[in-house]
Amino acid sequence: MNAQKANLINAVCLMAMSTWGYFSSLTPSMTALIPLVFGVVLLALNNGIKFENKAQSHVAVVLTLLVLLALTMPFKGAIKRDDSMAMFRIGIMMATSAISMFYFIMSFRAARIARQNK
């Protein structure tokens, strides 16, 4: 797997899980769709990541980190409510974001090493 594929999986997961959370709720809140917006933006940045556009890759990294950090509070809330489905959805979004961050970091390290070896 590479950073582009990890970002694509993360974007699709953010969109799917947040949509599922919104429509499965008895009292839906627009805040449940915030990860959907981030997923759409990450999906739009995917071609730039594929073709190693530095600016787009860095924007995607920052957005992914923001999503990862922002999901901690809803995850804690889901634990307090003992809402296993919300824990599952948010946990999946956090896991794909963390995996995406890992591949971004690995990609940046590989690019730095390649640049130093020239």
Query: Is there a contact between 21 and 89 (Cβ–Cβ < 8 Å)?
Result: yes
Number of domains in the chain: 1
The pLDDT mean for the chain works out to 94
Q: What angle (nearest 5°) sits at the alpha carbon of residue 70, between those of residues 80 and 29?
A: 65
Q: What is the pLDDT of residues 23-41, one digit of tens each?
A: 998 888 899 999 999 999 9
Q: What is the pLDDT of residues 75-90, one digit of tens each?
A: 999 999 999 999 999 9
Distance of CA 32 to the CA centre of its chain: 14
Mean pLDDT of 29-56: 94
Mean pLDDT of 53-74: 95
Domain membership of residue 20 as a residue range = 3-116
Amino acid 111: pLDDT: 87
| DSSP assignments along 13-40, one per residue | HHHHHHHHHHHH-SS--GGGGHHHHHHH
Q: What is the pLDDT of residues 88-100, one digit of tens each?
A: 999 999 999 999 9
State pTM to two decimals. Answer: 0.91
